[in-house]
Structure 1
Amino acid sequence: MQFLVLSRRRTEQFSDADFDLLVPDEAAQARHLYKIGFTRQIWHRGDRPGACQIVEARDESEVRKKLATLPLAKAAMLDFEIIPLKPYAGFISL
């Protein structure tokens, strides 16, 4: 099953310097999650600091478990919105 994950940096509680300390490890873990097939696509958000990604997992619990491995998540520096996705019905007749 695929999910849309929107993350938002908690900039009201943490400084840019706080984030900068963990960004290299965050990027390394993000690459690992991509390599194992969890993250399918990922982008930086254009509206605020954070990321948007398409992930694949059995259920939302697995999504939360994998996201929890990110250093910024471990440090409680991110908020996540997880949206389950369904196939687009308009392609059924193709």
Structure 2
Amino acid sequence: MEFLVMSVRRSDAFTPDEFAAAGPAGGARVRELHGQGVIRRIWHRADSIGACFLLESSDAEAAAAAVASLPMARDGMSDFTVVALVLYRGFSAG
């Protein structure tokens, strides 16, 4: 299954220095998940301070566990929205 994950930093609760300190561990975990094929693509958001990524997992529970393993999620530094995706039927032949 594929999931769209959107995050927004909790800038109201954490300082820029705290985000900077969390960056290396967060980047390392994203690289691990990417290497495992869990995170397929990732982007910075243009509309807010956060990220948006395409995640692949066996089910919603596994997707939630992958997101929870991110330091920014674990430490409550970002809010995450996880949306399950289904194929767009407009491209099917029938």
Fold match by TM threshold 0.5: yes
Tell me the distance in 1 between the aligned counterparts of 2:9 and 2:33.
19
Structure 2's unaligned 5+ residue stretches are none
**What corresponds to 1:88 in structure 2?**
88
* SS class of match (2:55): strand
* SS class of match (1:5): strand
Superposed counterparts of 1:1-94, under 5 Å: 1-93=1-93
Deviations along 1:31-58, one digit per CA (max 9) or x if unpaired, are 0000000001000001111100010011
Aligned Cα root-mean-square deviation (Å)? 1.1
Could you tell which deviates more after superposition, 69-78 or 36-45? 69-78
Tell me the distance in 1 between the aligned counterparts of 2:50 and 2:17.
15
- Count of matched residue positions in the alignment of Structure 1 and Structure 2: 94
Question: Could you tell me the percent identity over the aligned residues?
Answer: 38
Shift of residue 9 of structure 1? 0.6
Shift of residue 59 of structure 1? 1.5
Give the TM-score normalised by the residue count of structure 2.
0.95
Structure 1's unaligned 5+ residue stretches are none
